[in-house]
Amino acid sequence: MRDLEMLYDQVPATRCAGTGDCCWLTDEEFDNYYATMFPLYRAEYVHIVAYVEQHFSPQRRQELLSFTEERPRRCPFLGENHSCTIYPVRPLICRTYGAMNPVSIARQAIAHQGALPSAQIRAFVRREAGMVCPRVAVLEPEKVARHARMLMEGTYDYELARLSAEVELAGAERKRFFQRLTGRKEWPLRWSWGGFNTLRFSTLAWLRQYFAAYWKKAELIDQK
Ligand code: SF4
């Protein structure tokens, strides 16, 4: 997962006040279909699984790998003291949260006018405006311009999709089951921790009995 770590390294490092506010949902956010730790790319999911298997106690590991809630109100990795318990391997969406502020968003939007299609710049402004957090400090301002350009050009998403295409979620029997049931050729590209867990860690008996209903009700699965 060296490529994934190199991609993450493009995001300016930040320091967060550690309130954990962005790691759980208010009632209003929940009702408006927000989700924590989402989108999670398949490559990121597999990366986090490896970390959990290596760094957590057997009991905690069991809790996390059997977690199947698709859109939880509270991220399963949020620690009791509001810290992120998978901080070194947290996904891109958590790393980019708060990495831009209203001043840097406006500055980068102006700097790229004429160089990129205005629709791309507008999409960048819209997305980043929703990710501003006054409790986050940017520690690597020298990376902000390149980071903004990568967001505008979709480079992060492109690279995460490329890396995910190289990653199998689970074994051949599960894949055949998934393909038969959903009519899809490939595993989901982006889903949630709980969603991916059903396919990778639930028993085959559970999958055969319950997965069809789970899939039908899924809210976060990438559209085909
Ligand atoms: S992975 Fe960590 S930073 Fe991201 S939502 Fe969960 S607890 Fe928060």
- Asked if residue 131 lies in contact with residue 119, where contact means CB atoms within 8 angstroms, the answer is no
SS3 at position 136: strand
Residue 77: CB within 6 Å of ligand 1?
Answer: yes
Q: Which of 19, 25, 37, 89 to mutate to test the pocket of ligand 1 (most atoms within 8 A of CB)?
A: 37
Backbone phi, psi, residue 136, to 5°: -110, 130
State in Å: Cα 208 to ligand 1 middle: 31
Residue 222: the pLDDT is: 83
Residue 20: the pLDDT is: 77
- Asked if residue 144 lies in contact with residue 138, where contact means CB atoms within 8 angstroms, the answer is yes
What tokens appear for 36 in the block? 């924590």
Longest CA span, the chain: 56
What tokens appear for 1 in the block? 């997962």
State in Å: Cα 204 to ligand 1 middle: 29
For residue range 76-94, what is the model confidence (pLDDT) as tens digits?
999 988 899 999 999 999 9
**Is the pLDDT reported for residue 189 higher than 90?**
yes
For residue range 141-165, what is the model confidence (pLDDT) as tens digits?
999 999 999 999 999 999 999 999 9
Residue 212: the pLDDT is: 98
* Calpha distance 76→36 (Å, rounded): 9
Q: At 32, which amino acid appears? A: N
Residue 224: the pLDDT is: 66
What tokens appear for 152 in the block? 């505008």
